[in-house]
Each structure stands twice: as structure tokens, then as C-alpha cells.
């Protein structure tokens, strides 16, 4: 990911960017966990970006803001053909964990959800909205994305891959 800033002009474009980001991460090392931190104000596009990730992971459930839940876990839709080649099926092996820490006041709340196990498990994509609320427990290896509202349909997204 050479460029570290992009401007999107629609929510569709933000979702397309999310898909591209995920494909780039998989190129780095396919079989690991990924921590993706989404910074930015309400309405800046964090959940929209997460919806793009879910589409790429072939998750059929609707992903929305889990504000009242703190965390929601999504599994990919079940394979229709059990003999699907590993390359075709590769995006389906991931579980998406979507955290929204907006209402979190103590990172212990996140630890209590099995955080250590989730971040050290296999094939997990861990997306965190409002990661600044839990900065004490964020792994050093992660992707940070900062979302800025420019106008109704335009968002600026800055990104930085840390220690990967």
C-alpha cells in the first residue's frame, strides 16, 4: 500500500477501498490475524468501510453499528460446494469481529469479551471503531485508518500499516 491517503466520493467507493485493503493485507501474509483500527467521528464512514470488508469476506449478514453491543462476530456464509478449491474458498475462512468502543470507558470491558483469545486466534479479522478508547490493549502490529468527513459524499481516509 504505497499511497497513504485516499479520497472517496461515495459509500460504494469506500467499500471498494475496503476490499482492496483486505486483498493487500492477504498478500502480506494470508494466514494470520489482522487488526484494523478505524478512527474518525460519527458518520465519517467507519461502519461503511467495515461493510466492504464483510462483502469481501463473503459474509451475508448485514453489518451495522454494534454500538449497543460493543462487539459482533460474523462468520462467512457456508460454502455451497464443499470441494471448492482452497484459493476460491480462502476469503471464507476468516471470522470478522467488529468492535465499537464508543461507549467503552474501561478497556477491561473488552478484555472480558475474550479479547486475548480473539487477537491470538487464527484467521480473525478484528475491526475496531473508536480504538482510542482501548489504546492500552491494542496490538502494535495493526493497520490504522483515519476517516475524515469532507462533505456529504466525500471522505478522506488516511492509512498506515504499523509494525507488520
Interface positions with Mg ion (CB under 5 A): 46-47, 65, 129
Residue 142 is a binding residue for ligand ADP (CB under 6 A) = no
Measured from the CB atom, the residue of 11 and 90 that comes closer to Mg ion is 11
Q: Which stretch binds ligand ADP (CB under 6 A): 28-36, 113-121, 132-140, 150-158?
A: 150-158
* 65, 92, 158, 161: which one binds ligand ADP (CB under 6 A): 65
Choose the one of Mg ion, ligand ADP, none that binds residue 11, judging by a C-beta under 5 to 8 angstroms depending on kind.
Answer: ligand ADP
**For residues 71 and 10, what is the distance between their CA atoms, to the nearest angstrom?**
26
Q: Is 44 exposed, middle or buried (0-12, 13-18, 19+ CB in 10 A)?
A: buried
Measured from the CB atom, the residue of 99 and 115 that comes closer to ligand ADP is 99
**For residues 42 and 60, what is the distance between their CA atoms, to the nearest angstrom?**
24
**For residues 54 and 133, what is the distance between their CA atoms, to the nearest angstrom?**
23
User: Which helix (H) or strand (E) segment is 127 a member of?
Assistant: strand 124-129
Measured from the CB atom, the residue of 119 and 157 that comes closer to ligand ADP is 157
- With CB under 6 A as the rule, give the number of residues binding ligand ADP: 20
Alpha-carbon distances, residue 60 vs 41, 52, 161 (angstroms): 27, 11, 28
Measured from the CB atom, the residue of 11 and 65 that comes closer to Mg ion is 65
Q: Spell out a b/e string for 53-66, using b for 16 or more CB atoms within 10 Å of the CB, else e.
A: bbbbbebeeebeeb
Measured from the CB atom, the residue of 92 and 146 that comes closer to ligand ADP is 146
Q: How many CB atoms lie under 10 A from the CB of residue 78? A: 9
Q: Which stretch binds ligand ADP (CB under 6 A): 22-30, 69-77, 86-94, 151-159?
A: 151-159
Q: In angstroms, give the least distance from the CB of 122 to ligand ADP.
A: 27
Q: Which residues bind ligand ADP (CB under 6 A)?
A: 8-11, 13-14, 40, 42-48, 65, 129, 147, 153-155
Amino acid at each position: 500500500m504505497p499511497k497513504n491517503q485516499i479520497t472517496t466520493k461515495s459509500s460504494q467507493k469506500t467499500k471498494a477501498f475496503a476490499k482492496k485493503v483486505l486483498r493487500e493485507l492477504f498478500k502480506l501474509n494470508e494466514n494470520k490475524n489482522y487488526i484494523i483500527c478505524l478512527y474518525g467521528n460519527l458518520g465519517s464512514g467507519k461502519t461503511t468501510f467495515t461493510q466492504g470488508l464483510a462483502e469481501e469476506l463473503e459474509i451475508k449478514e448485514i453489518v451495522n453499528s454494534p454500538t449497543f453491543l460493543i462487539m459482533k462476530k460474523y462468520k462467512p456464509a457456508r460454502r455451497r460446494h464443499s470441494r471448492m478449491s482452497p484459493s476460491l474458498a480462502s476469503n471464507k475462512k476468516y471470522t470478522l469481529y467488529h468492535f465499537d468502543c464508543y461507549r467503552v470507558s474501561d478497556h477491561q470491558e473488552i478484555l472480558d469479551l475474550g479479547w486475548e483469545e480473539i487477537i491470538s486466534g487464527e484467521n480473525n479479522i478484528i475491526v475496531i471503531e473508536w480504538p482510542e478508547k482501548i489504546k492500552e490493549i491494542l496490538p502494535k502490529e495493526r493497520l490504522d485508518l483515519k476517516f475524515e468527513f469532507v462533505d456529504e459524499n466525500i471522505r478522506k481516509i488516511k492509512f498506515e500499516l504499523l509494525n507488520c
